[in-house]
Structure 1
Amino acid sequence: MKTTYALKRLFLTVLIFTAVFGSAQAADALKMELQASKITKAANGKAIYVAASDAKTGETVQYRAVYTNVIEQPISDVAVTLPIPANMTFTGEAKPNSAQATVDGKNYADMPLMRKVNGKVVKIPLSEYKALRWNIKLLPAKKSADVSLNTIVN
């Protein structure tokens, strides 16, 4: 399965989310770089990140976005969102771990997401997560913040 299309679609979606949901100041002041990397394990057990031009079913892909404040003043209270591509399932791993998730693209909550089923509160399967959002309280001038989430190719 090629991830090139998924990466381009994710990049466009991230740009739309940043432009629509960020403040006008934040949209003009933020530069975003998006990377997709396959994660494999070295013999010593450490993770190896390789640029993901394609990935096969079952492989882990990390999407990492670096947001840089390009203006000479700090930016505060910016929400950045990374959608989870339709052909991927979120693994539950996100950095920073303060991310909130959504199953509908509108309502975000702390993870794990929960719902009532037959009167019991149960965890929502990670396969139903559609996007993650991080709230950046303060991004100083000329500084960067990065966020990432791991997915598995379906």
Structure 2
Amino acid sequence: MTFYTAIRTTVLATIVSAGLLNMAHANESLKMELTANKVVKNAEGKISYLPVSTAPAGTIVQYKATYTNTINQNINDLAVTLPIPANMTFTGEVFPTSAQASIDGKNYADMPLMRKVDGKLVKIPLSEYRSLRWNIKLLPAKKSASVALNTIVD
């Protein structure tokens, strides 16, 4: 199984919606497309994205999930989560920047994540981040919203 297949399976299992829709209706109302792209910067600093299914260590890969509202009514208070695969390290680059992070996949907080060490608050290393969550307040009828995160192949 490639890292793309692994994250796609996990992402499909972690879409959560609330508000106007019940879960049975939400499954029919929301379509998700996940892409994995190698992030390439040219000599002028311009960034491009190339489709990738496998990549060597050190490659930066962007996971982008696009959620489309397939019905004729708005979806309110949609929470979407993207896990960070075990063989990847989060770079800290995320879109939109309103994402919250988790080291356990259950408890989310604004970034950077912090913990107490010897009585002092210190930043948790990005290598310990396991998933990100975005709260989409409104996804209008027949419209789409995208979220993305960058990782490095370990």
> TM-score, normalising length from structure 2?
0.94
Give runs of aligned pairs for residues 32-47 of structure 1, distance below 5 A.
32-47=32-47
Structure 2 Cα separation of the partners of residues 111 and 98 of structure 1: 9
Q: Which amino acid aligns with 1:125?
A: P
Structure 1 Cα separation of the partners of residues 70 and 48 of structure 2: 30
Where 1:27 maps in the other structure, the secondary structure is: helix
Tell me which residue corresponds to 2:130.
130
Structure 2 Cα separation of the partners of residues 53 and 10 of structure 1: 11
Tell me which residue corresponds to 2:13.
16
Task: State the shift of 1:55 in Å.
Answer: 0.8
The percentage of aligned residue pairs carrying the same residue is 63
Task: State the shift of 1:26 in Å.
Answer: 2.9
Structure 1 Cα separation of the partners of residues 151 and 144 of structure 2: 23
Where 2:132 maps in the other structure, the secondary structure is: strand
> Given that residues 14 and 83 in structure 1 are in contact (C-alpha distance below 8 angstroms), is that contact kept between their aligned partners in structure 2?
yes
Q: Which amino acid aligns with 1:13?
A: T
**Stretches of 4+ moved more than 2 A in 1?**
25-28
Task: State the shift of 1:48 in Å.
Answer: 1.4
Deviation readout 1:93-113 (Å, 9 max, x if unpaired): 000000000001100000000
Report the number of matched residues: 149
Tell me which residue corresponds to 1:94.
94
Deviation readout 1:75-131 (Å, 9 max, x if unpaired): 000100000000000000000000000001100000000000000000000000000
Q: Which amino acid aligns with 1:139?
A: L
Unaligned 5+ residue runs, structure 2?
A: none
Structure 1 Cα separation of the partners of residues 144 and 79 of structure 2: 14
Tell me which residue corresponds to 1:150.
150
> Given that residues 26 and 78 in structure 1 are in contact (C-alpha distance below 8 angstroms), is that contact kept between their aligned partners in structure 2?
no
Q: Which amino acid aligns with 2:63?
A: Y
Structure 2 Cα separation of the partners of residues 54 and 42 of structure 1: 21
